[in-house]
Amino acid sequence: DAGITQSPRHKVTETGTPVTLRCHQTENHRYMYWYRQDPGHGLRLIHYSYGVKDTDKGEVSDGYSVSRSKTEDFLLTLESATSSQTSVYFCAISEASMGHNQPQHFGDGTRLSIL
């Protein structure tokens, strides 16, 4: 398995509180991604990073921010959590050397419940 660790694995919090999810990789891959997975919607891209301090928005970025200060860490922050952000969040990584033909390697997810 690719060296990807997501933390926490489970979290329950209240509406309006800030939440930060962490993705840590040991593969030194350039690209890192945050997805959310919801029934009926499949996997949707929130934000991604193509290098340290280089990030871009995905399909469902509203209400989320990200930061990447080191190659190995990619943080996803919900500034003020809402119940609609209850989901399972997945981090993924991929190499840059293969150009556009890039398989992604996924962590095991963070199950976030916002009450």
Partner 1 sequence: SQQGEEDPQALSIQEGENATMNCSYKTSINNLQWYRQNSGRGLVHLILIRSNEREKHSGRLRVTLDTSKKSSSLLITASRAADTASYFCSTQGGSEKLVFGKGTKLTVNP
What are 5's two structure tokens?
A: 């660790």
- The Cα 39–Cα 88 span in angstroms is 10
The smaller minimum CB distance to partner 1, of residues 67 and 105, is found at: 105
Can you spell out the DSSP letters for 43-66?
EEEEEEEEETTEEEE-TT-TTEEE
Closest Cα partner for 91 from 39, 41, 26? Answer: 26
- Asked whether position 25 contacts partner 1 by CB under 8 A, the answer is no
Per-residue x/- marks for partner 1, 50-69, CB under 8 A?
x-------x-----------
CB of 37 to partner 1, least distance (A): 9
- Asked whether position 107 contacts partner 1 by CB under 8 A, the answer is yes
- Asked whether position 97 contacts partner 1 by CB under 8 A, the answer is no
Contact 114, 82 (CB under 8 A): yes
State the residues that interact with partner 1 by CB under 8 A.
4, 31, 33, 35, 40-45, 48, 50, 58, 90, 92, 94, 100-109
